[in-house]
């Protein structure tokens, strides 16, 4: 029997409660997130091309300090930033040169950069009960996707999850793009507050006048026209305003458009890929940007945004990547200010929980994801 399907609408048919207020400032909640969400998922750590051969970088992944190593031959490895002798920090800087060995600055134990095995124990002469092979650096899983490096603290990490929509950047030459601009913001908000703001557009008319001009459907408080067709402006299928093709200050492409995009990808004007918990990517017809989040405390989050271009675009005479990035930077800073405003209110002892509106279906999905991750048994 064929059933008539009603028009698909993602809007919720009820108004569920939000997470409790303490989810955004409690040290205990934050610590549990670090042991579950941040210790078990692939966490974006920047572009492979920005990690020069012969260098290492120190990262924070959840509660762990991690060193990401790129050997002179280009090989990639990652380890916990802790010595197996008596636990000293191995790398005390955000970035450092890397040779064949990683030496502990305390008593000079040294480890092979390629696989972390213990090579020497400095001036110490261990007895026969000590087995070098049992005292290599503690490895961290590392992979590369679309030119991004991702690390995973889990001892048994699964693949990058297919339900993240990872295929949707297949038509962009991601691995060849070059970082042209970067901004870093230290936001006074819980990391989830930023993601919640990302997941709804009810705030767009009030917070983002320039963006609403660029993307007319946002001016109605919607994320996409299919949410509420009767409320969406008729743009003839275009998502960006008439005459605009990219998120640049004048809406014009900043260089040649990528040749492999489908007509729909071109018409969209932007294509989002979300990789919880740490990154989203927005791919335009002429350039791509990514935003990474690193929780630095229950009420603080470091945001790093980068813009990627074809090398030929960056080399154009007079090309100014900061100018091209200024449109999205404005939007990111508006969102950052909104997230900090939200955080200040969430601290109120009078606030218990809020309610989600039907248009906030993507926040409901995010909350379900967070709670599901935290409910899973913690790894030993």
Rounded least distance, CB 218 to Fe ion, Å? 8
**Residues at the contact surface with Fe ion, assessed by CB under 5 A:** 335
Q: Answer with the entry of Fe ion, ligand FES, none that 83 interacts with (C-beta below 5 to 8 A by kind).
A: ligand FES
Look at residue 369 and give the partner it binds from ligand FES, Fe ion, none, a contact being a CB closer than 5 to 8 Å depending on partner kind.
none
The Cβ of residue 236 has, within 10 Å, a number of other Cβ atoms equal to 6
Choosing from 30, 38, 42, 109, the residue that interacts with ligand FES (CB under 6 A) is 109
Backbone angles phi, psi at 86, to 5 degrees: -135, 20
> How many CA within 13 A on the CB side of residue 372?
7
Stretch that binds ligand FES, among 103-111, 208-216, 263-271, 308-316 (CB under 6 A): 103-111
Which residue number places its CB atom closest to Fe ion? 335
d(CA 220, CA 342) in angstroms, rounded, equals: 21
The interface partner of residue 85, options being ligand FES, Fe ion, none and the CB cut-off 5 to 8 Å by kind, is ligand FES
**How far is the C-alpha of 25 from the C-alpha of 191, rounded, in Å?**
10
Q: Is residue 104 involved in binding ligand FES (CB under 6 A)?
A: yes
Among 106, 319, 351, 369, the residue binding ligand FES under the rule CB under 6 A is: 106
Sole binder of ligand FES in the list 85, 182, 266, 302 (CB under 6 A): 85
Q: Quick one: which H or E segment has residue 268?
A: helix 263-268
d(CA 55, CA 98): 4
Is 79 a binding residue for ligand FES by CB under 6 A? The answer is: no
Residue 107 touches ligand FES, criterion: CB under 6 A: yes
Q: What CA–CA distances, in Å, run from 314 to 171, 276, 318?
A: 20, 30, 9
Q: How many CB atoms lie within 10 A of CB 26?
A: 14
- Compute the distance between CA of residue 197 and CA of residue 148 in angstroms, rounded to an integer: 24
Question: Rounded to the nearest whole angstrom, what is the least distance from the CB of residue 197 to Fe ion in the complex?
Answer: 6
Helix (H/G/I), strand (E/B), else coil: 265:
helix
Q: State the number of binding residues for ligand FES (CB under 6 A).
A: 9
- From the list Fe ion, ligand FES, none, partner contacted by residue 335 (C-beta under 5 to 8 A by kind): Fe ion
Contact footprint for ligand FES (CB under 6 A): 83, 85-86, 88, 104, 106-109
């Amino acid at each position: 029997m064929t059933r008539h399907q009603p028009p698909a609408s993602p809007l919720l048919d009820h108004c569920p409660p939000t997470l409790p207020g303490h989810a955004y400032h409690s040290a205990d909640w934050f610590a549990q997130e670090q042991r579950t969400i941040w210790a078990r998922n692939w966490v974006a750590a920047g572009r492979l091309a920005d990690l020069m051969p012969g260098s290492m970088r120190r990262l924070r992944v959840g509660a762990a300090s991690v060193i990401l190593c790129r050997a002179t031959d280009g090989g990639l490895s990652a380890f916990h930033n802790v010595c197996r002798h008596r636990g000293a920090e191995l790398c005390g800087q955000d970035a450092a040169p890397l040779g064949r060995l990683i030496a502990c600055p305390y008593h000079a134990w040294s480890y092979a950069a390629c696989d972390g095995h213990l090579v020497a124990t400095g001036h110490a002469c261990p007895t026969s009960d000590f087995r070098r092979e049992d005292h290599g650096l503690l490895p961290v899983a590392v992979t590369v996707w679309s030119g991004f490096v991702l690390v995973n603290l889990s001892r048994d990490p699964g693949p990058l999850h297919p339900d993240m929509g990872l295929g949707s950047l297949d038509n962009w030459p991601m691995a060849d793009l070059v970082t042209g601009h970067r901004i870093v913001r230290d936001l006074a908000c819980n990391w989830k507050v930023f993601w919640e703001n990302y997941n709804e557009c009810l705030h767009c008319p009030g917070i983002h006048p320039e963006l609403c001009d660029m993307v007319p459907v946002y001016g109605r408080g919607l994320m996409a026209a299919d949410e509420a067709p009767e409320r969406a402006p008729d743009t003839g299928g275009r998502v960006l305003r008439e005459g605009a093709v990219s998120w640049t200050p004048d809406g014009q492409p900043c260089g040649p458009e990528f040749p492999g995009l489908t007509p729909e990808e071109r018409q969209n004007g932007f294509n989002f890929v979300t990789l919880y918990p740490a990154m989203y990517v927005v791919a335009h017809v002429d350039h791509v940007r990514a935003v990474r989040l690193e929780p630095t405390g229950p009420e603080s989050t470091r945001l790093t945004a980068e813009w990627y271009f074809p090398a030929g675009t960056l080399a154009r005479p007079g090309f100014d990547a900061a100018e091209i990035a200024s449109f999205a930077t404005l939007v990111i800073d508006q969102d950052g200010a909104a997230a900090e405003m939200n955080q200040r209110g969430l601290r109120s002892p009078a606030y218990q929980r809020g309610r989600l509106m039907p248009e906030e279906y993507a926040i409901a999905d995010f909350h379900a994801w967070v709670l599901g991750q935290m409910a899973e048994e913690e790894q030993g």
